[in-house]
Amino acid sequence: MKTLVTGCAGFIGSHLSERLLKEEFEVIGIDCFADYYQRGIKEANIANSLNHKNFEFIEEDILDMEEFPDVDYIFHEAAQAGVRASWGKSFDRYTKNNIGATQKLLEFYKDKRIKKFVFASSSSVYGDAELPMRENSLLKPVSLLMALRSWQRKVFVIYTGRITTFQPFR
């Protein structure tokens, strides 16, 4: 089975890629090495995957890509990180990298025979919700970054009619 992992050099994306490779999936990873984290950290994250015969790496910004690989599964982990930096003059960068990239992937794959398209979210989209949180809890983000993440969820639902999110550490 062929799998696409966006944000494959990030902490979660790199661990997900390694797990998929261990489970004998073919993994195509995309990462643009956004400058929020030091490049060396992200290179170390994907070092094991880069040495695996079933891993193909594409270093490119999703927004600059015209075509995407033919795959069975998509795990969309790519996102612009950083709550504090999402305020003010950097807001457009977050809008493009989070909502724009998600919409571009969904648009490309909307008529393809994808078995599953999963996108990473954050439990922070629920704000100060009562515990335990549930997928159907009201979204009450308390930062611009989490507002963008909740908009990503809405874009995903508009395209797919359902929500399949992965919210780590919930």
pLDDT in tens, 108-120: 998 898 998 887 7
Using CA atoms, how far residue 170 sits from 12, 53, 120, 124, in Å, is 14, 33, 12, 9
Longest C-alpha distance within the chain, in Å? Answer: 45
Residue 139: what pLDDT? 74
33 vs 81 pLDDT, higher one: 33
Q: Taking residues 36-56, report their average pLDDT.
A: 95
- Distance CA(75)–CA(6), nearest Å, equals 6
Residue 91: what pLDDT? 73
- Distance CA(59)–CA(56), nearest Å, equals 10
CATH superfamily, with its number, for domain 2-166: NAD(P)-binding Rossmann-like Domain (3.40.50.720)
Instruction: Tell me the pLDDT tens digit for each residue of 76-100.
Output: 998 776 666 667 777 777 778 888 8
Question: Is it the case that residue 170 has pLDDT exceeding 60?
Answer: no
Question: Is it the case that residue 4 has pLDDT exceeding 60?
Answer: yes
